[in-house]
Amino acid sequence: MRIYIVGSLNMDLVIRAARMPQGGETILGEGFLSNPGGKGANQAVAVAKLGGEAYMVGCVGREFGADLLETLQKYGVHADHVRRETDLSSGIAVIIVAGGDNRIILDTASNGRTDEALVDRAFADAKEGDYLLVQLEIGLPTVAYALKEAKKRGMITVLNPAPAAKLPQALYADCDWFVPNQTEAQFYTGIYPSDEKSIRKCAEKLGKLGVKNVLITLGTDGSASVSKGVFRRVDPVPAAAVDTTAAGDTYVGAFVTRLSEGAEIETAMHFASTASALTVTRRGAQCAIPLRAEVEAYAKEQGVII
């Protein structure tokens, strides 16, 4: 099955520091790194590196555009539906990494040009059973349009609703999978998911809005899903965190990849947890995402069935 990723492409400008600066404070950093990122592109690269057939749909700009396209192609992502804009910059993310955690400032720039016409061209070859994966770093009208058009074509839709934003109610009904982290889940439901009871309440509230299935990433507590009333909880895979930048994107891309291969939900969650665990042991975004063989080897080492 094809996996279409409609979303953002950014150049990440990363610097490490011993701690986060306070307001108005300048501190010394080290280890500056520029590398391709963006939630859409990260998830597309995760799909491709982990064995899925990834089709990226989005826009790059004047600055860094060639580099972003070259990187997608290097990792095996189909990039024919990435449009080059020449009158503004590609998306930029400025990232501070301290103590294994990160803070990000984002300029969407050319990502705002991803439009309905680009989605239509990309979906021309889409078939029933293909997957759509979207996030919220492009214009919300385009996200809503992509979800609706995908459902018309019988595609399976996955929304990673980040960064959190107010969504039109009609959009929820076009989501087969709604995949937030804990903070995002609280934003959309008013409930902080931490145990089975609160996670089920989140899923119930989202279900009333029209969402079919819910998967919540729980950070160091693993992940949990509710599908057709069945609750599943998967523990995290041990890892020494160095940089968490692309951990969530790796998880989502890995999960969708295994679903597209026909894996059971819990198996896909274990696979995603293992891939995400390996990602946080490395610096960067797309370059930190592991290959399928690495995930399989680490899962065997940790005794995880994927």
Catalytic residues: 249
d(CA 86, CA 234): 45
Half-sphere exposure of 273 (CA within 13 A, CB side): 29
Among residues 39, 42, 5, 40, which one has the least CA distance to residue 119?
A: 5
DSSP label at 306?
A: -
Contact 258, 264 (CB under 8 A): no
Contact 255, 131 (CB under 8 A): no
Among residues 38, 72, 14, which one has the least CA distance to residue 249?
A: 38
d(CA 172, CA 210): 5
User: Helix, strand or coil for residue 238?
Assistant: coil
Q: How many other β-carbons are positioned within 10 Å of the β-carbon of residue 306?
A: 22
d(CA 44, CA 126): 16
Contact 152, 173 (CB under 8 A): no
Q: How far is CA 282 from the centre of its chain?
A: 17
Q: How many other β-carbons are positioned within 10 Å of the β-carbon of residue 259?
A: 24
d(CA 51, CA 306): 13
Q: How many other β-carbons are positioned within 10 Å of the β-carbon of residue 124?
A: 7
Paired tokens of 24: 């108005």
Strands 131-134 and 156-159 come out as parallel
